Amino acid sequence: MLLKLAARNIRRSVRDYAIYFVTLVFGVAVFYAFNSIGSQKILFSIEGADASAFEVTQELLGTFSVVIAFVLGFLIVYANRFLIKRRKHEFGIYLTLGMGPGEVSRIVLYETVLVGLISLAVGLVCGVLLSQALSFATAALFTIPMTHYQFVFSSTALLMTLLCFVAIYVVVALFNLLTVRRYKLIDLLSANVRSERMPVRNPWVCLAAFVASAGVLAVAYRLLNENGMIYLEDPKFAWATVLMLAGTLVFFWSLAGFAIAVVTRARGAYLRGLVPFTVRQIASKVNTAFVSLWVVCVLLFLSITTFSTGMGLIEVFCGGMEKAAPYDATIRADVYYEEETDLVHPASESLTARAESMAAEHPATYADGTAYGWDIEAKLRDANPAWDDFVKESAQIDYWEVPGSTYAPLMEAAADVELSTVLNEENIKSSNIQVVDVSQLNALRAMTGADPITLADDECALANNMDATDELAHAFIEKGKVASILGHDLRIQDEILDVQFSDNAMTATALVFVVPDQAVSELRAGGAIPMTSYLNLTYADGLSATEGDEALAEGLAIALPKGSPSDLETSYTYADDAYSFQPGLWPASTTYTKAEMSSQADGLRMMITYLALYVGFIFLVATAAILAIQQLSEAADSQQRYRLLAKLGCDERALNRSLFTQVLVYFLAPLALAVCHSACAIGVMSTTLFEALGVPVQGPIMMAAGFTLVIYGGYLLITYFASKGIMRQAIRG
């Protein structure tokens, strides 16, 4: 009997359960779909780094799922609280008709279980379908075809979803039982009569607080611009965060009073139709729910910013792989780094200082390098006669720094150039100029099919392909015109060379001068050693990328077997299985292969994309659901007011317009401020990071806007129609 009554109540209260049910279905579907990512790898013929990308992504999403579970749990309990409050009068009638508190509690328990089972079933079906869509999205992210598409069902994701939501439903059921049992009969029967008090604050105090909040937010925005969101340990970033949170809270505390102070003075607009009623309705709810509006605004800000910047970061870390990794493989030799001068080498350092230090600290490596003239391939070929079996062509590029020749004169000539915040002006000024010789550059260009360049004895060229230093490179040519290197004034050619000196995750050539061969010969003759050397390789014809990588690893293992003496311990720490060869300062510190870089980029692209979608979607659903529930609660509390207005002759269309205005303003207020916060944060990151690296953010921003419009707008419409049903029931009942 009680179970039958519970089922009837659910059918009768479909509109009341709409928000609750939709939120449950969304939560279950997204939770299952994103936790099934790891199972999708069977759809693709991938292995190694590509396959591990699925596992790493799955682990990261699983970790975030714990946080997501708590967010969804809070949201479901919060939504359920509205349903209980909405039905107080009904529970009072049950008690009056002779039911005991235990029987009423059982009805509520049955309703909770039924709605939970239905939403869990529907959510899992939607989640399985969504996971199939994610499979195609994954194929697009990896730019690889599905070799054998099949229906994928993840038992692990199913188990996680069941455990999570069963636990949430148990908590909800206990909450309902305790809530119903502690109500008094008089409170239940009078629930439809009592009206929530409408607090009104002093409008002048609110006006002052509103102006103060605007000032606090302006200061927060300024501090964030000064920080650039690059150095997060900077106190300015912490202060900007604190002021943003405080300013937002004061903003919503004062918003209603400020709005009343402004609107009531516009008599022509205020004293029309139901405007006074609508304004007071909005003001009363904002005054009582300003803390939740504050939380909603912050979560919306995090959702919009996470999605927009997450999509942009994909291009930062993964965009332009073809240009960033133009060779099949690169062997890097660090040659010699002094720890205290790893990044910036003092201008007073002599030509022989680094060579003397290396000879003293690592005499065997120094002697070996000088004996081979720092020619990496010559050393490796001698140690492994089969080298030519897997290497078709190669080209080495040596970075040299020129002690006594710094970038300072060129920086002074380009003083009017506004540097990207990722650059440190003083570090650039005090750094020694870095050079490569033209013969090595032309050998490298020949590998990529580019034409050679020619330099006169009094000329040099500037190589740069980083967007962050592009404007500075043009200024060096147009305003600096001459580079002083080893006491020679070399005229800089007009064309900037777009060249990648080694395989990398991104384009990484920044302000490197290409000089005539005799300039590097002077460095060698003066006792200098290269700073860093790169040997770039093209695999032999007929070898796939995987086969070439395996052959390279085997060749290095033969030339530099594990267990042989290494001179990297003071600067580097490697896991035992990180390399199949023994890394050293020279001839090989590490390797980069095009296939590995591409796999890592694909994995990072998938991880960032899904994490941004997962977190952004859940936060967006949570905020929209909280606002929807609060507005439905407001509509339920205002039934007596709508009934009275109807009796006074107000037509239903006017009431509908008033209700729509209330819902619209209540949804748009936190969204508008969240968009302002997001615009500031995204604008700062765009200036300091995305524009500096040549990454457009318009696309991700438009995607975030569409994402928000669909989810947030959908909840707004559901809320309006559900509230409209409550109002219509009140005026016709």
The parent domain of residue 346 ranges over: 335-588
679 part of a folded domain = no
Mean pLDDT split into 10-residue runs, the chain, 733 residues: 66 64 80 77 53 67 76 72 66 69 72 79 87 72 60 80 82 73 57 51 78 91 78 78 90 79 67 77 76 86 81 62 83 76 50 86 91 93 87 92 86 79 75 91 91 91 87 87 86 90 84 92 90 93 86 88 74 56 88 82 73 79 81 79 84 87 89 90 74 63 81 87 83 71
Task: Provide the pLDDT for residue 1.
Answer: 63
- Looking at 531, 565, 588, which one is the last position of a domain? 588
Q: Taking a C-beta distance cutoff of 8 angstroms, is the pair 119, 28 a contact?
A: yes
Question: What's the total number of domains in the chain?
Answer: 2
497 part of a folded domain = yes
Radius of gyration of the chain (CA): 34
226 part of a folded domain = no
- Looking at 137, 157, 181, which one is the last position of a domain? 181
Task: Provide the pLDDT for residue 598.
Answer: 76
Task: Provide the pLDDT for residue 346.
Answer: 47
- Looking at 539, 555, 588, which one is the last position of a domain? 588
Task: Provide the pLDDT for residue 15.
Answer: 61
The 3-state secondary structure of 573-639 reads: CCCCCCCCCCCCCCCCCEEEEHHHHHHHHHHHHHHHHHHHHHHHHHHHHHHHHHHHHHHHHHHHHCH
68 part of a folded domain = yes
393 part of a folded domain = yes
554 part of a folded domain = yes
Please provide the DSSP assignment of 654-692 as one string.
Answer: HHHHHHHHHHHHHHHHHHHHHHHHHHHHHHHHIIIIITT
222 part of a folded domain = no
Q: Taking a C-beta distance cutoff of 8 angstroms, is the pair 181, 101 a contact?
A: yes
Two tokens, residue 604: 């990072």
In this structure, the number of other CB atoms found within 10 A of the CB of residue 647 comes to 9
Residue 577: partners with Cβ closer than 8 Å, 6 or more residues away: none
- DSSP strand pairing (459-463 vs 482-485): unpaired
Q: Taking a C-beta distance cutoff of 8 angstroms, is the pair 455, 461 a contact?
A: yes
pTM of the model: 0.68
φ, ψ (nearest 5 deg) of residue 579: -135, 150
> What is the amino acid identity at position 675?
V
3 state DSSP class of 98: coil
107 part of a folded domain = yes
Task: Provide the pLDDT for residue 344.
Answer: 42
Whose structure tokens read 């994610």? 134
